[in-house]
């Protein structure tokens, strides 16, 4: 028997997902072993349509048989056709290199959702608006139903145009802000929950509260009611009994509707809750709803009902305030110690009718009051009216705020630190990355990057969480996607977001600057003279090819490439058709957005990105076996690069605009000849030096800046920029107390104070795309497109700067890849790595006198072979396992001194 154990069986990237709609769900498992260099050589998957069958070894759906293959991720189910609402149980066993078989894995499962429109018996129900109110109360709706004895299985499928909070017999089911944000004209996600445990014999009840959400509430800065006037709910519950009979409970005209304590709740305008209007017991069996109204039944819905792909949104952490201060006005300002996103929970005791207010802001003004100018039209305030029943506890429902400071207004009595708590809310993308160095400032920078992600990954990747915007800006998303995928498992999150990008694609082929639509498309803001909002902004629209490619690199996901291939082709064709001699036009666009004192000409930037889109598309075509297309787009890339050089690059290597970003993009996108590359590096490093070792890049340049320097042999310059504390720099904000990444380098400066309130977010992840460099270069955990998803990793740490230690780990689909390097004062480098089972790594160990002390406990040598030796160091091939290496290393700064 082999030593291999099988763990972490997943279906469609998730553990035992319920209600999916993929007809060939992809299966994943992990191998673990205490041995080194462990490989799977074959697998056998069995799938059964019930647990009983599985336990009796009756694989009635699929038995793959012993299949010679090393593949342990992304294996598409290839058995009998799956049926609506079916349950499928599966397990797998594998063979190792000695053809020894493992134990079977534990049994995993998935269930299917409602697969065809005809099977939906539920109706869309809502509540008519209350006349004369600008902000509408949230509808409460309920339904009682009888359950016979012995429920075998009960599943509820639910969605909303708007948001829903569902409960069964008074117990909450599901998560926050369901069903998430999509372009509701095109599609809405259906969430499925197994409620078997919640069913009881006799009367049961469903209760639902509806929120306006993105569908009917305020979205962005253009409009309210982007998609509809008021929310609607759709639900279907299937209850199966042990005796084989079954019944449905669906949303329809038989439900009862009322308004309740939530007077309004808007994502961007906050909430008012009047506890005196609570409908006690409304969501439980036995409630008398005779005074309630009939719901308003909507005639239908033309979009797609798709199974939810996005990870659920939930409270992932609760923060306690670190400080409380009474203001001159008699209010209290709490400091959460961290700029966070979510809401505040408060406990209060007082007279009925007393109103308290929770007001939220990211910063304080110089006079110590909340700084709310940068919120624009957003109102980050929740009001609670007490019912006067002893200790009352309140948290809001369908709103969220970006804040570090909370002002408590009108509080009866003296609040304490424990009076409030900050609930951190975001899409539940499990943490996959960790990174720690010898420099506390660098560690804080990494923490700020992850907080930026937590603060802005809420159903879609948003730009900011506080002002009246919070939009899915595609440019921000693409530049940060790689960093994001080291930090957290964003497989499902970005798979869903790609549908948002696709749903917004213009008939012309242009991918848009914002997805899902936030009114741009509906208000026909494109192709008018209002051309600031253009559908094809360079670096924004390109997200449509960069994000799928990132998912392929990080997760080996070929399906996303195949699914969206035609859309990507249309994008590149659009760019080709809308350029002259392959040069993109100079028209108003965002350029290298929020660069600092360096304007990159938009035609240079746009042509560079055009080339990059063509290049990535060529790689994508190659990855999915479209060789002719690959050749075509490679040739297109070469032609664009040629046009770029003749149009923008002088014989001395100066690129039009002469900004850091023009050089960085030209280098990283491969637009230059070897000769011109040298000149570009000289000009880039010269530019940085002239600025006093400082950067000037905006959103698009910043992600490539340190990679470009490192790839060009300028590692010390990269480290200097990373740890630079003078303005503008990452560390400048940290020196001044930042706990998140700011939107602008100069969001606040000592000389000028706050930047313009009209656009100044303190929680914006874009400039945090340096996280990618930290993992790929500083720690050196790099994916290999030839074996994507880290089937083969390139481990190439870059010790340097003032750091003496870096420890990073990334949990790939195969398991954890970790790297730790330590530099002693005597110049000894010690490198420890871990490579997961069923993968291998090429390991670059820099320095002289390299020793492969491969297993400081014995077994020296096993699993690790020397591939190459040079003046720079040694290259090894390491199979799975833990290894340590040492070398004599010359710090770069000493070498240059």
Report, as residue numbers or ranges, the catalytic residues. Answer: 469, 743
DSSP codes of every residue in 259-292: E-SEEEEETTTEEEEEGGG--TTTTSTT---TTS
CB of 593 to ligand RAM, least distance (A): 5
Q: Decide whether 405 or 473 has the Cβ nearer to ligand RAM.
A: 473
Residue 609 binds to ligand RAM (criterion: CB under 6 A): no
| Gap between the Cα atoms of 401 and 395, Å rounded | 12
Q: How far is the CB of 446 from ligand RAM (least distance, A)?
A: 21
Q: Which of residues 539-568 bind ligand RAM (CB under 6 A)?
A: none
**Residue 503 DSSP code:** H
Q: DSSP letter for 778, please.
A: I
Q: Considering only 182-190, 390-398, 468-476, 873-881, which stretch makes contact with ligand RAM by CB under 6 A? A: 468-476
Closer Cβ to ligand RAM, 439 or 772, answer by number: 772
CB of 291 to ligand RAM, least distance (A): 47
Count of CB atoms within 10 A of residue 866's CB?
Answer: 12
Would you call 822 helix, strand, or coil by DSSP?
Answer: strand
The distance of closest approach from Cβ of residue 513 to ligand RAM in the complex, given in angstroms and rounded to an integer, is 7
Closest to 34 measured CA to CA, from 77, 4, 8, 59 = 4
Residue span 766-785 as binding mask against ligand RAM, x where in contact by CB under 6 A, dash where not: x-------------------
Strand (E) or helix (H) holding 530: none
Least distance (Å) from ligand RAM to the CB of residue 469? 6
What is the smallest separation between the CB atom of 567 and ligand RAM, expressed in angstroms? 21
Assign residue 801 a region (left: φ > 0; alpha: ψ between -120 and 50; beta: otherwise).
left
Residue number, 111 or 763, with CB nearest to ligand RAM: 763
Among residues 476, 517, 557, 716, which is the contact residue for ligand RAM, using CB under 6 A?
476
One of 96, 259, 592, 743 touching ligand RAM (CB under 6 A)? 743
Interface stretch with ligand RAM, choices 431-439, 469-477, 526-534, 720-728 (CB under 6 A)? 469-477
Give least dist CB 273 to ligand RAM, A. Answer: 31
Residue 352 CA to residue 626 CA, distance in Å, equals 70
Are 810 and 432 within 8 A, CB to CB? yes
Cβ contact 131:138 at 8 Å: no
Q: Measured from the CB of residue 744, what is the shortest distance to ligand RAM in angstroms?
A: 8
Please report the DSSP string for 188-255 in residue order.
EEEEEEE-GGG--SEEEEEEEEEE-HHHHSEETTTEE-SS-SS-EEEEEEEEEETTS-EEEEE-STTS
Query: Judged by CB under 6 A, which stretch of 102-110, 379-387, 471-479, 885-893 contacts ligand RAM?
Result: 471-479
By CB under 6 A, tell whether 746 contacts ligand RAM.
no
Quote the CA–CA distance of 661 and 870 in Å, as a whole number: 33
Q: Considering only CA atoms, which of 541, 540, 538, 504 is closest in space to residue 226?
A: 504
Please tell me the distance from the alpha carbon of residue 497 to that of residue 413, in angstroms, as a whole number. Answer: 46
Binding segment for ligand RAM (CB under 6 A), chosen from 71-79, 176-184, 361-369, 467-475, is: 467-475
Q: Does 452 bind ligand RAM (CB under 6 A)?
A: no
Site for ligand RAM in 256-285 (CB under 6 A): none
Q: Which residues contact 9 (CB under 8 A, 6 or more apart)?
A: 15, 27, 28, 29, 90, 91, 92, 105, 106, 108
Minimum CB distance to ligand RAM smaller for 212 or for 743: 743
789: phi then psi, degrees, rounded to nearest 5: 80, 15
Nearer to ligand RAM by Cβ, of 259 and 469: the residue is 469
Which residue number, 164 or 593, has a Cβ lying nearer to ligand RAM?
Answer: 593
Q: Where are the beta strands (DSSP E) in 59-201?
A: 62-63, 67-68, 75-76, 87-95, 108-111, 124-126, 139-147, 151-161, 163-168, 171-178, 187-194
Q: In the complex with ligand RAM, which residue's Cβ is closer, 593 or 663? A: 593
Quick one: tokens of 534? 């253009």
Residue with tokens 């008021």: 230
DSSP assignment, residue 779? I
Instruction: Output 479 or 583, the one with its CB closest to ligand RAM.
Output: 479
Q: Tokens standing for 690?
A: 């002239």
Residue of 344, 408, 426 lying closest to 177 (CA atoms): 426
Q: What is the CA radius of gyration of the chain?
A: 28
Q: List the one residue from 21, 283, 407, 463 that touches ligand RAM (CB under 6 A).
A: 463
Candidates 255-263, 373-381, 429-437, 472-480: pick the segment binding ligand RAM (CB under 6 A): 472-480
Give Cα separations from 279 to 166, 259, 276, 778 (angstroms).
15, 9, 9, 57
Task: Answer whether 46's CB lies under 8 Å from 109's CB.
Answer: no
**Contacting range for ligand RAM; rule: CB under 6 A; set: 268-276, 473-481, 501-509, 541-549:** 473-481
Of the two residues 411 and 742, which places its CB atom closer to ligand RAM in the complex?
742
CB nearer to ligand RAM: give 265 or 380: 380
Question: Between 515 and 843, whose beta carbon lies closer to ligand RAM?
Answer: 515
Question: Considering the complex, what minimum distance in angstroms separates the CB of residue 477 from ligand RAM?
Answer: 9
In the region spanning residues 796 to 825, those forming contacts with ligand RAM, defined by CB under 6 A, are none
Q: Is residue 473 a contact point for ligand RAM (CB under 6 A)?
A: yes
Q: Which residue among 475, 657, 707, 800 contacts ligand RAM (CB under 6 A)? A: 475
How many chain residues touch ligand RAM (CB under 6 A)? Answer: 9
Q: Exposed/middle/buried for 177, CB within 10 Å: 0-12, 13-18, 19+? A: buried
Nearer to ligand RAM, 139 or 475 (CB): 475
- The CA-atom distances, in angstroms, between 114 and each of 235, 238, 308, 334 are 11, 10, 12, 47
Closest contact distance (angstroms) between CB of 698 and ligand RAM is 10
State the minimum distance, in angstroms, from the CB of residue 458 to ligand RAM. Answer: 15
- Counting beta carbons within 10 angstroms of the beta carbon of residue 87, is it exposed (0 to 12), middle (13 to 18) or buried (19 or more)? middle
Nearer Cβ to ligand RAM, position 96 or 592?
592
The DSSP secondary structure of 315-353, one letter per residue, reads EEEEEPPSEEEE-TTS-EEEEEEEEEEEEEEEEE---TT
Residue identified by tokens 């004192």 is 597
CA 134 to each of CA 230, 266, 543: distance values in angstroms, whole numbers, following the listed order: 12, 12, 37
Smallest distance from ligand RAM to CB 386, Å: 39
- The binder of ligand RAM chosen from 177, 593, 790, 889 (CB under 6 A): 593
To ligand RAM, the closest distance from the beta carbon of 704 in angstroms equals: 17
- Cα–Cα distance, 830 to 850 (Å, whole number): 10
From residue 397 to residue 426, the character string flagging contacts with ligand RAM as x (rule: CB under 6 A) and all else as - is ------------------------------
Widest Cα–Cα separation across the chain: 85
Residue of 28, 486, 526, 590 that binds ligand RAM (CB under 6 A): 590
Contacting positions for ligand RAM (CB under 6 A): 463, 469, 473, 475-476, 590, 593, 743, 766
């Amino acid at each position: 028997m082999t030593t291999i154990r099988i763990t972490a069986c997943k279906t469609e990237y998730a553990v035992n997902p319920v209600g999916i709609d993929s007809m060939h769900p992809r299966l994943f498992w992990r191998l673990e072993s205490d041995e080194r260099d462990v490989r799977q050589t074959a697998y056998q998957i069995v799938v059964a349509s019930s647990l009983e069958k599985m336990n009796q070894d009756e694989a009635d759906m699929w038995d793959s048989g012993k299949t010679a293959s090393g593949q342990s991720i992304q294996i598409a189910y290839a058995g009998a056709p799956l049926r609506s609402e079916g349950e499928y149980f599966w397990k797998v066993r594998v063979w190792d290199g000695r053809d020894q078989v493992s134990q079977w894995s534990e049994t995993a499962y998935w269930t299917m959702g409602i697969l065809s429109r005809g099977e939906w018996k539920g109706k869309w129900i809502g509540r008519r608006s209350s006349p004369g109110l600008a902000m509408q109360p949230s509808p409460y709706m309920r339904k009682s139903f009888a359950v016979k004895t012995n429920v075998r299985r009960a599943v509820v499928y639910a969605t909303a145009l708007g948001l829903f909070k569902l409960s069964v017999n008074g117990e909450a089911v599901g998560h926050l802000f369901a069903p998430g944000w999509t372009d509701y004209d095109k599609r809405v996600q259906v969430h499925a929950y197994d409620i078997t445990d919640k069913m009881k014999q006799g009367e049961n009840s469903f209760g639902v509260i509806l929120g306006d959400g993105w569908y009917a509430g305020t979205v962005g800065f253009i409009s309210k009611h982007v998609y509809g006037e008021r929310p609607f709910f759709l639900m279907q519950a299937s209850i199966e009994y042990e005796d084989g009979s079954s019944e449905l409970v669906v949303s329809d005209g038989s439900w009862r509707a009322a308004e309740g304590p939530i007077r309004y709740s808007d994502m961007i305008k906050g909430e008012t809750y009047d506890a005196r209007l609570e409908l006690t017991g409304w969501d439980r069996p036995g409630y008398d709803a005779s005074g309630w109204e009939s719901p308003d039944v909507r005639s239908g819905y033309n979009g797609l009902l798709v199974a939810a792909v996005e990870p659920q949104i939930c409270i992932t952490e609760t923060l306690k305030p670190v400080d409380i201060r009474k203001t001159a006005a008699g209010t209290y300002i709490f400091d959460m110690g961290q700029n966070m996103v979510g809401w505040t929970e408060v406990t209060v005791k007082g007279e009925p009718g007393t109103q308290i207010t929770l007001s939220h802001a990211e910063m304080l003004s110089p006079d110590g009051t909340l700084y709310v100018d940068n919120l624009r039209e957003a109102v980050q305030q929740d009001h609670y009216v007490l019912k006067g029943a002893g200790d009352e506890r309140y948290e809001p429902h369908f709103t969220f705020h970006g804040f570090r400071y909370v002002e408590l207004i009108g509080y009866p009595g003296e609040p304490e630190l424990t009076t409030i708590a900050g609930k951190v809310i975001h899409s539940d993308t499990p943490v996959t990355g960790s990174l720690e160095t010898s420099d506390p400032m660098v560690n804080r920078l990494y923490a700020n990057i992850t907080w930026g992600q937590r603060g802005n990954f809420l159903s879609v990747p948003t730009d900011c969480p506080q002002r009246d915007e919070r939009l899915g800006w595609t440019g921000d998303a693409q530049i940060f996607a790689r960093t994001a995928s080291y930090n957290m498992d964003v497989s499902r999150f970005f798979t869903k977001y790609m549908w948002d990008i696709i749903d917004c694609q213009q008939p012309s082929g242009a991918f848009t600057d914002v997805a899902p639509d936030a009114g741009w498309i509906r208000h026909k803001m494109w192709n008018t003279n209002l051309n600031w909002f253009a559908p094809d902004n360079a670096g924004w629209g390109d997200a449509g090819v960069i994000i799928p490619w990132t998912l392929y690199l990080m997760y080996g996901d070929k399906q996303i490439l195949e699914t969206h291939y035609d859309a990507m082709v249309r994008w590149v064709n659009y760019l080709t058709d809308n350029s002259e001699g392959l040069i993109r036009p100079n028209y108003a666009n965002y350029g290298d957005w929020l660069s600092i004192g360096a304007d990159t000409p938009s035609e240079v930037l746009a042509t560079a990105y055009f080339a990059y889109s063509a290049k990535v598309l060529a790689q994508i075509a190659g990855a999915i076996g479209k060789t002719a297309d690959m050749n075509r787009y490679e040739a297109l890339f070469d032609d664009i690069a040629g046009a770029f050089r003749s149009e923008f690059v002088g014989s001395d290597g100066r690129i039009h605009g002469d900004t850091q970003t023009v050089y960085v993009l030209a280098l990283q996108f491969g637009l230059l000849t070897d000769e011109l590359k040298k000149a570009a590096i000289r000009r880039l490093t010269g530019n940085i030096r002239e600025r006093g070792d400082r950067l000037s890049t905006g959103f698009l340049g910043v992600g490539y800046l340190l990679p470009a320097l490192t790839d060009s042999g300028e590692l010390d310059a990269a480290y200097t920029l990373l740890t630079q504390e003078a303005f503008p720099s990452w560390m400048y904000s940290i020196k001044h107390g930042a706990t998140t990444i700011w939107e602008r380098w100069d969001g606040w400066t000592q000389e000028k104070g706050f930047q313009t309130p009209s656009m100044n977010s303190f929680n914006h992840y874009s400039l945090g795309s340096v996280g990618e460099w930290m993992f790929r270069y500083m720690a050196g955990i790099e994916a290999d497109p030839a074996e994507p998803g880290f089937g083969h990793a390139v481990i190439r740490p870059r010790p340097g700067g003032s750091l003496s230690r870096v420890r990073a780990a990334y949990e790939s689909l195969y398991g954890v890849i970790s790297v730790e390097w330590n530099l002693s004062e005597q110049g000894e480098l010690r490198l420890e790595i871990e490579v997961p089972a069923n993968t291998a790594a090429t390991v670059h160990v820099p320095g002289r006198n390299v020793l492969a002390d491969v297993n400081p406990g014995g077994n020296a040598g096993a699993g690790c072979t020397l591939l190459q030796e040079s003046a720079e160091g040694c290259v090894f091939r390491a199979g799975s396992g833990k290894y340590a290496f040492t070398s004599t290393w010359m710090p770069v700064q000493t070498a240059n001194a």
